[in-house]
Amino acid sequence: MANQNNPSLPMPIKVRPYLHQQAAFDFACRKFGLLPSDSRSRGVALLMEMGCGKTLTSIGIAGILYQFGLVNRVLVVAPLSILGVWDEEFSSMAAFPYSLTVLKGTGEKKRQQIREVSGDGLQVLVVNYESARILEKELLQYDADLIIADEGHKIKENRSKQSRAMHSLGDRASYRLLLTGTLITNKELDVFSEYRFLNSRVFGTSFYAFRNQYFDMVGYGNHIPRFRQWMLDDFLRRMHSIAYRVTKAECLDLPEVTEEVVPVALEPKAMKAYRELEQDSFTELKDGEVTAMNVLTKLLRLSQLTGGHVTDDDSGDHRISTAKLDALSDILDSAADQGQKAVVMARFVPELNDIEELLQKKKIPYAVVRGGVKDRAAEVARFQNDPECRVFVGQIAAAGLGITLTAANMMVFYSLDYSMSNFDQAKARIHRVGQAKRCHYIYLTCTGTVDRKVLRSLRSKVDLAKTLVDDYRKGRNPFGD
C-alpha cells in the first residue's frame, strides 16, 4: 500500500494486482521518473518467475507511460510460441485504449503490417526474436518508444545477430523492459548482453572491457573466463540497481495454485486441415445419430490434430504440426534457466513420442510413466531424487494416479482427456502433501479449436459430452471454440 515514504501509482489494468506486481510496477515507475527516486534508468529488468505475472505488470507499465504521454508505440519481442499470450493478456487486462498487431506470415507480409500499423490509443507491435533480427531496418523505422524483451535470456549471447539487433533497437527506444525468470542462466557473462540492451551505462558497451573488469582468463591458451569472486558485491550492486527480483516463494500474496493458459497458433496448413476435419465432423453429425459417444469420438480426432497428428486408415499416423512442441520447448528452456523441474502431461501416444524426442534432442534427462513402462516406481524415484533428472513425462491415463511428483511445482498440460476425475487426479500429482512450494499449471491450447472448450469444461466441472450435444441441438457447431 502506498504511503508518503513510498508513493505509488494505480496500475491501469482491469484487475486488482497482487502486492508484488504493484511493487514491481512502482519500481519501474521510479526508475522511469514517474515517481520520486534517487536514481533513474531508461531500462528496467523484471526478474519474475513463471506464474508471478510479469506480462500483466509490463502491460501496466506500458499503460502508465502512455497515460503520462511518454510513449505512443510499443514493440514486444518474444519467443514465437508465446506471441498470442500478449494479444490475449492485453485484451483481458489493459484498462487504456490500444491497438495491437501480431506480425504473421511471410517476411513481406510482416513488412506490410509494420507499414500499415494504425489505430487509436497505444500502438503495440508483437514480433518474435528471429523476425526482429530479419526486420531490424523496418522496426527501426517503426520507431518504438518502449521495447519489451520477453524471456530476455534469449539475447544472452552478445555476439549473436539476434542480440545485436535487439541492442540496435534498444538504443533507439526511450524506454526498455526485459522480462525473465532469471538473469544469470549459466554464467555471469550472460548478463552483459541483456544489460547492453537495457542500459549500457551499467556495464558499458564493450564486452571485452566488461570481461576484463570482472573475469580472469585461465586454462589452456587463457580462453576460459573465471569470475573474480572479490568483485561479486560490485557486480550484484550494478545488476540490482535496475532490476526488480521476485520468486514465487517470496510472493506471500499469491494463492497456493496459479494457472496460465498459453494460446498456440497452428500453422496455416495445419489450421486448414483442422477446419476441414471440423466441417466434416459437423456434417457427419447431421447425417447420423447425435449421441454423447458419437460426438466425443469426433471430438477425439480434432484433439489429436491440435496435438500435431492426424490418422488415416491407409498409412496410419502423420505429424501435421509442431506448434505445441515449439511452445513446450520454450517453456522447458525457461524452467531450466530458473533451475526448476517440470512435469509434462499428455494424452496421446504420438504426442508422448514427440515430447520424448524433443527432450532427447535437448539432452535433458527425464523420467517417463506411460503405457508400456513396467517399473513406474523407479521412474518416479529418479525424478524425485535425482537432481539431474529435470522433466517427468506422464500419460494422463497412466500417470494420473498413485504417484507423487512433488520434486516439481510446475505442470504443463500438453493435451487433455475429457474426464474431470483424470484432470483433477493429474493435477494432484504435484499439489499434495510434501509440496513446499506454490504450484503453477500451464495449459497449451490451440487458438480457435476445441482445446479451449475442453479446458473450460474441465475447469468449470461441467459434463463435456452433454455440453456438446446441447450445443448441436441449439443449432450451434459443437466443435467450435
Write down the pLDDT at residue 148: 98
Query: 192 near 235, Cβ under 8 Å?
Result: no
Query: 142 near 113, Cβ under 8 Å?
Result: no
Write down the pLDDT at residue 184: 59
**Any bridge partners for residue 369, and if so which?**
394
Q: How are beta strands 410-413 and 439-446 bridged, if at all?
A: parallel
d(CA 243, CA 178): 9
Amino acid (one-letter) located at 104:
K
393 three-state secondary structure: strand
387 three-state secondary structure: coil
In 323-449, which ranges are continuous DSSP H helix?
Answer: 323-337, 349-362, 376-385, 396-399, 420-427
Write down the pLDDT at residue 1: 40
Write down the pLDDT at residue 185: 52
Amino acid (one-letter) located at 27:
F
**Any bridge partners for residue 227, and if so which?**
215
b/e per residue 373-393 (b: at least 16 CB within 10 A): beebeebbebbbeeeebbbbb
**Any bridge partners for residue 180, and if so which?**
47
- The DSSP secondary structure of 30-47, one letter per residue, reads HHTTSS--S---SEEEEE
Query: 268 near 321, Cβ under 8 Å?
Result: no
Q: What stretches in the chain show pLDDT beneath 70?
A: 1-5, 183-186, 252, 254, 313-315, 481
pLDDT tens digits, residue range 245-289? 987 777 767 678 889 999 999 999 999 999 999 988 888 877 777
Write down the pLDDT at residue 118: 83
Residues 6+ apart with CB under 8 A from 273: 305, 310, 320
**Any bridge partners for residue 342, and if so which?**
391
Write down the pLDDT at residue 183: 61
d(CA 232, CA 214): 8
Domains of the chain with CATH codes: 19-250 (3.40.50.10810), 257-264+321-473 (3.40.50.300)
Write down the pLDDT at residue 2: 46
pLDDT tens digits, residue range 18-68? 899 999 999 999 999 999 999 999 999 999 887 788 999 999 999 999 999
For the entire predicted model, the pTM comes to: 0.80
As to burial, measured by CB atoms within 10 angstroms (0-12 exposed, 13-18 middle, 19+ buried), residue 296 is middle
Q: Name which of 188, 206, 196, 131 is nearest 168 in CA terms.
A: 196
As to burial, measured by CB atoms within 10 angstroms (0-12 exposed, 13-18 middle, 19+ buried), residue 31 is buried
